């Protein structure tokens, strides 16, 4: 009759793990937050096989006593809450007491910890799928070391749905970066399969941003700072020219906790209106300091969404502070009423005494003398008629001069028409872009730039399948200063990029390009590289086939920008190449290459 059962502790923990622990990156996030809450000033993270095999987090925080170490794996066991009111005065990152219990229920966990007040030995605890296996004394340093092995070993379905190692490690690095950016006063180290990814020393927020995002980012950072009774705002926004197609470098922190907020993001975007191109996104690293009683952190399992009691006021303050910062650093046009409006005096006249200008007056000057003279010589005939030759006999020489002027203007017009050589020679080519051709139904108009994109795309794709595209060796290699996401994206797609003609190597935390595709001119290579980087490091990376199509399309777009056909022979060859393409009606971006203007449509124009 009764069908409701009370779930066991192990099942309850696995259900909680489904909310809190979504992937190895979630484990890294929870363990890093625990280390920060413990007051650690040095944190090391070691990853093996993108967290599938092992995640090891070591810190030098206060550590735990033997009793606390045993209790920390119990669900809802926390040191951060004593009563209900503490939920509204949170100063720590964790508070629910679910993380360690959830992690222990789906992995093999080894904990070593020693409290700062312990002198000799610390505690060693091993958990296997939520079951305690060992609890004994051990020799270890002050702080805590937690190793998580074989994540989701007892939940095979969850392990199956994990993505590739590169994708999972990207999530781990993203979580790591968010914690690092929020705590510049703490040193962090991250390794992956024994290779050091980050070694961040303690410093100020600007240095931390530069260390994480790349040295190039330092030049584009504009500081913002605003203090009000409602909120304190500090941090940096990127200059408009550093805006990208992806939303990679966008971070909000409240009381040093990372969060996402579409409403505040709209305020930042509005501040950059008319300063950046459409579909571009500005970079920002903005820190809010606010009374903990005016925010609610406990509304999302991962605590990345936060409610603000005075969100509308904060929106206005944020918008104003960003606009003020952009204006202050001459990023946006502004009026500065504090600037002195006096003229700059040349250095050579700095020591000279100013001389009052002398005004000279001619007492004999009569402004009406010329008027009186003209009035006396007037014959009484209308001046306009005189001008047209009426009222008196005209001199024959004046008529000769009149005709001479007319002939001269004719010569000028003839020279002007003859100067347009392209028009007379290539009568079917308009503005070096549109090609006109006579067909049965009317006039065929071809966009030569789009046609060239289709021709290049067809040639490149047919060559790309069988052999690498031709490349040009650079005399001086190009150094790209990219953030870690972009570097990883280039390295991950190295074989594909080599096939397209991009040969490079990973050198001292950056990418050094040694050769480029032959179709890319020297003046266009920066645009091409930026387009390739944006395609590689997008939020959702496509499969190899889609990525090849995207990259080749970017190449042909840049290569076709300066394309021109000049002679009749070139035009004929160009049209033959176009119509030999299997798909000659549309360019690789889906836009039409040609349009037909019918006789009926032409007739309506006249």
**pLDDT tens across 399-454, in order?**
555 555 444 444 443 333 333 344 334 457 777 788 888 877 788 888 888 888 88
Provide the pLDDT for residue 94: 60
Residues 6+ positions from 268 with CB-CB distance below 8 Å: 237, 250, 282, 284, 286, 318, 319, 322
Q: Please state which CATH class domain 9-200 belongs to.
A: alpha beta
Q: Which candidate, 25, 32, 60, places its Cα nearest to that of 256?
A: 32
The span from the CA of 606 to the CA of 601, in Å, is 10
Above 50 in pLDDT, residue 336? no
pLDDT (tens digit per residue) in 493-514:
888 888 888 888 887 667 888 8
Provide the pLDDT for residue 87: 59
The span from the CA of 299 to the CA of 378, in Å, is 96
Please report, rounded to a whole number, the percentage of residues in the chain having pLDDT higher than 90.
Answer: 27
Provide the pLDDT for residue 397: 53
Provide the pLDDT for residue 9: 65
Above 80 in pLDDT, residue 10? no
Higher pLDDT, 387 or 514: 514
Identify the band that residue 86 occupies on the pLDDT scale cut at 50, 70 and 90.
low
Higher pLDDT, 575 or 107: 107
Query: By mean pLDDT, which of 52-61, 88-97, 533-542 is the weakest?
Result: 88-97
Average pLDDT, the chain: 79
Please report, rounded to a whole number, the percentage of residues in the chain having pLDDT higher than 70.
Answer: 77
Higher pLDDT, 473 or 534: 473
Q: What is the mean pLDDT of residues 332-350?
A: 49
Would you call 560 helix, strand, or coil by DSSP? coil
Provide the pLDDT for residue 388: 46
Q: Which candidate, 548, 603, 577, places its Cα nearest to that of 451?
A: 577
Q: Which candidate, 206, 228, 232, places its Cα nearest to that of 217?
A: 206
Query: By mean pLDDT, which of 354-368, 415-429, 581-595 is the weakest?
Result: 415-429
Query: By mean pLDDT, which of 99-108, 334-343, 561-570 is the weakest?
Result: 334-343
pLDDT (tens digit per residue) in 191-204:
999 989 899 999 99
What pairs with residue 253 in β-bridges?
Answer: 258, 287
Domain limits, the chain = 9-200, 205-328, 444-580
CATH superfamily of domain region 444-580: MutL, C-terminal domain, regulatory subdomain (3.30.1370.100)
Query: By mean pLDDT, which of 31-40, 339-348, 496-505, 542-551 is the weakest?
Result: 339-348
205-328 placed in CATH 3.30.230.10: yes
The span from the CA of 354 to the CA of 467, in Å, is 79
What pairs with residue 42 in β-bridges?
Answer: 187
Provide the pLDDT for residue 108: 94
Query: By mean pLDDT, which of 41-50, 78-87, 235-244, 356-365 is the weakest?
Result: 78-87
Above 80 in pLDDT, residue 242? yes
What pairs with residue 446 in β-bridges?
Answer: 435, 594
The span from the CA of 25 to the CA of 178, in Å, is 12
Is-contact 25 51, C-beta < 8 A? yes
Identify the band that residue 88 occupies on the pLDDT scale cut at 50, 70 and 90.
low
Asked if domains 205-328 and 444-580 share a fold, the reply is no
Identify the band that residue 385 occupies on the pLDDT scale cut at 50, 70 and 90.
very low
CA-to-CA separations, 450 to 312, 372, 455, 549, 561, in angstroms, rounded: 47, 72, 9, 16, 9
Q: What letter would DSSP give residue 101?
A: H
Provide the pLDDT for residue 528: 79
Total residue length of the chain: 606
Provide the pLDDT for residue 382: 47
Provide the pLDDT for residue 58: 95
Most confidently modeled of 265-269, 480-484, 587-591?
Answer: 265-269
pTM for the predicted model, two decimal places? 0.66
Is-contact 27 148, C-beta < 8 A? yes
CA-to-CA separations, 152 to 25, 129, 130, 156, in angstroms, rounded: 13, 9, 12, 6
Identify the band that residue 339 occupies on the pLDDT scale cut at 50, 70 and 90.
very low
pLDDT (tens digit per residue) in 26-67:
999 999 998 998 899 999 999 999 999 999 999 999 999 998
Strands 232-238 and 221-227: antiparallel
Query: By mean pLDDT, which of 112-121, 296-305, 339-348, 427-436 is the weakest?
Result: 339-348
Read off the tokens for 134.
């060992």
Q: What is the mean pLDDT of residues 505-525?
A: 78
Q: What are phi and psi of 43, to 5 degrees?
A: -130, 130
* Residue that is written with structure tokens 């939920």 in the block: 87
Provide the pLDDT for residue 582: 83
Q: What is the mean pLDDT of residues 550-567?
A: 77
């Amino acid at each position: 009759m009764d069908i409701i059962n009370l779930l066991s502790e192990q099942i309850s923990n696995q259900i909680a793990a489904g909310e809190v622990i979504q992937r190895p990156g979630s484990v890294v996030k929870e363990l890093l937050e625990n280390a920060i809450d413990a007051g650690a000033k040095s944190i090391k993270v070691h990853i093996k096989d993108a967290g599938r095999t092992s995640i090891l987090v070591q810190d030098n925080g206060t550590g735990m006593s033997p009793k606390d170490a045993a209790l920390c794996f119990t669900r809802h066991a926390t040191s951060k809450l004593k009563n209900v009111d503490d939920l509204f005065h949170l100063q720590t990152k964790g508070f629910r007491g679910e993380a360690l219990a959830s992690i222990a229920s789906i992995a093999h966990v080894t904990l070593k910890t020693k409290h700062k007040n312990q002198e000799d030995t610390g505690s060693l605890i091993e958990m296997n799928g939520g079951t305690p296996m060992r609890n004994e004394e051990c020799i270890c340093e002050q702080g805590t070391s937690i190793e998580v092995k074989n994540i989701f070993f007892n939940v095979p379905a969850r392990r199956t749905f994990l993505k590739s190692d590169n994708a999972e490690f990207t999530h781990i690095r993203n979580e790591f970066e968010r914690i690092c950016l929020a705590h510049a006063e703490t040193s962090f180290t991250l390794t992956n399969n024994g290779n050091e990814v980050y070694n961040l020393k303690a410093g100020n927020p600007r240095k931390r941003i530069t260390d994480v995002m790349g040295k190039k980012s330092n030049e584009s950072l504009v500081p913002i700072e605003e203090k009000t009774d409602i909120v304190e705002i500090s941090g940096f926004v990127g200059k408009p020219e550093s805006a990208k197609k992806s939303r990679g470098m966008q971070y909000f922190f409240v009381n040093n906790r990372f969060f996402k907020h579409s409403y505040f993001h709209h305020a930042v975007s509005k501040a950059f209106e008319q300063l950046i191109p459409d579909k571009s996104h500005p970079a920002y690293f903005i820190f809010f300091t606010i009374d903990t009683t005016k925010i609610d952190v406990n509304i999302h399992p991962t605590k990345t969404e936060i409610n603000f009691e005075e969100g509308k006021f904060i929106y206005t303050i944020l918008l104003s502070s960003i606009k003020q910062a952009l204006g202050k650093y001459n990023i946006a046009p502004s009026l500065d009423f504090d600037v002195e409006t006096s003229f700059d005096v040349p250095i050579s006249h700095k020591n000279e005494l100013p001389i009052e200008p002398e005004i000279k007056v001619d007492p004999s000057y009569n402004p009406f003398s010329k008027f009186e003279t003209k009035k006396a010589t007037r014959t009484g005939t209308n001046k306009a008629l005189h001008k047209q030759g009426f009222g008196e006999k005209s001199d024959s020489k004046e008529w000769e001069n009149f005709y001479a002027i007319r002939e001269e203007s004719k010569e000028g017009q003839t020279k002007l028409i003859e100067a347009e050589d392209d028009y007379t020679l290539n009568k079917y080519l308009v503005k070096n872009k549109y090609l006109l051709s006579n067909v049965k139904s009317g006039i065929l108009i071809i966009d030569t730039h789009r046609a060239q994109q289709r021709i290049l795309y067809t040639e490149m794709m047919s060559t790309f399948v069988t052999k690498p595209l031709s490349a040009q060796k650079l005399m001086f290699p190009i150094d790209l200063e990219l953030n870690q996401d972009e570097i990883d994206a280039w390295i991950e797609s190295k074989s594909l990029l080599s096939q397209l003609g991009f040969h490079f190597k990973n050198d001292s935390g950056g990418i050094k390009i040694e050769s480029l595709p032959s179709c890319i001119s020297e003046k266009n290579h920066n645009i091409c590289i930026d387009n390739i980087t944006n395609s590689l490091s997008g939020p959702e990376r496509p499969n190899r086939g889609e990525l090849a199509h995207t990259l080749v399309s970017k190449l042909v777009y840049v290569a076709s920008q300066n394309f021109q056909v000049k002679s009749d022979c070139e035009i004929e060859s160009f049209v033959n190449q176009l119509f030999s393409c299997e798909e000659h009606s549309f360019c690789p971006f889906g836009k039409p290459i040609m349009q037909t203007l019918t006789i009926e449509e032409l007739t309506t124009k006249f």
